[in-house]
Structure 1
């Protein structure tokens, strides 16, 4: 057996010792207050970025590109992974979590600009992202480099995923939808590991977000307002 997995099991033993009583009220049902849709990048620790170590608080979804969209016979649909907690566990907040230097956004950008050859399953994921990203290519400033372009597309992708949630008939109006970017590359204010709010319910203006939500104003920041 590979030592990596042996180490994981040893770590799980410590976890089990600490969590013996934490499932007492959760064994038969769950009612998480928030569903997060994160990129499955190994650098994005879905629970840890919120300081969460309690089961039952956060319903986590992960995929490359933090997508809320899946493909059905009828076309693009809201992912069942995202809809399930909202429809069945009373979850009333959804947070789309992008991150700086996203590999999925990078791959989509490269495929749109010069073409890539990827296995079919990866190409399928990129094809779910690319229609949402392609319009942004004409909006990017001419004087930015590739890295800067990709981080702006990260924001644009989060905006589009929020928009898809906002316009979905399956999401009740009572659900609060937020878009954020997790930064571990000193792209924003230089605080590694910080979450920056870029979108609330479709609103993307930094000034307006600060005025409408003063309690989170210190966490609001964007790279561009297109």
Structure 2
């Protein structure tokens, strides 16, 4: 067996010892407080981002580009892995988690501007992001380098994914939808690894959001108010 897998199994021994009793309350069912839709980038430690050590607290979805959309025979729709906890476990909070320097956003930006070609599986994922990002690419200010353009599009992508959830008839009307960006590249000026709120139920204006949510006003920041 590959050494990496052996090391993962050994690391799991410590996890099993620490968490054994924490599964008692969720043996038969789950009622997570929130569903999070994170990018599957290896630098985004999805549960650790929120210091989650409680089985059953978060229903965590991951894919490249933190997409809430999947393609079906009837067209693009909200992904089943996002809908499941909203439909079946009483969850009423959805959090879309983008991150600085997102590779999926970078690749989609390149595909839209330079015609980047990827293997079919990756191309399918980028095709799901492309229609949502294309208007944002057209709106970018002149003179941005690629890193700055990508980080603005990260916010734009989060906004668009939030919008998909808010507009979907499949998502319960009383679901709160929040968009955030996880920053491990010192882009937002806070601590490395902080999550910054950029969108709450479709509202993007920083001043309005800070007035409405004073308890977390210092965590509400945007790079791009378009």
TM-score, normalising length from structure 2?
A: 0.99
In structure 2, distance between residues paired with 1:132 and 1:82: 18
**What per-residue deviation string (whole Å, max 9, x for no partner) do you get for residues 1-35 of structure 1?**
11111011011111111112111111110000000
Partner residue, 1:170: 170
State the aligned residue count.
Answer: 226
2:114 pairs with 1:114: yes
Partner residue, 1:81: 81
SS of 1:179's partner is strand
In structure 2, distance between residues paired with 1:69 and 1:132: 10
SS of 2:46's partner is coil
2:103 pairs with 1:95: no
Partner residue, 1:203: 203
Partner residue, 1:58: 58
Partner residue, 1:221: 221
In structure 1, distance between residues paired with 2:198 and 2:25: 35
Alignment of 1:40-59 (within 5 A): 40-59=40-59
In structure 2, distance between residues paired with 1:52 and 1:207: 29
SS of 2:169's partner is coil
In structure 2, distance between residues paired with 1:95 and 1:190: 20
Report the Cα offset of residue 190 of structure 1: 4.1
In structure 2, distance between residues paired with 1:101 and 1:83: 27
Report the Cα offset of residue 143 of structure 1: 2.0
Partner residue, 1:156: 156
In structure 1, distance between residues paired with 2:111 and 2:53: 38
Tell me how large the CA RMSD over aligned residues is. 0.7
In structure 2, distance between residues paired with 1:176 and 1:88: 16
Segments of 5+ residues of structure 2 without an aligned counterpart are: none
**What per-residue deviation string (whole Å, max 9, x for no partner) do you get for residues 23-80 of structure 1?**
1111110000000000000000011011111101000000000000000111110000
Structure in which a larger fraction of residues adopt helix: 2
In structure 2, distance between residues paired with 1:216 and 1:174: 22
In structure 2, distance between residues paired with 1:126 and 1:143: 25
In structure 2, distance between residues paired with 1:199 and 1:173: 17
Segments of 5+ residues of structure 1 without an aligned counterpart are: none
**What per-residue deviation string (whole Å, max 9, x for no partner) do you get for residues 79-117 of structure 1?**
000000010000010000000000000000000001112
In structure 2, distance between residues paired with 1:190 and 1:174: 31
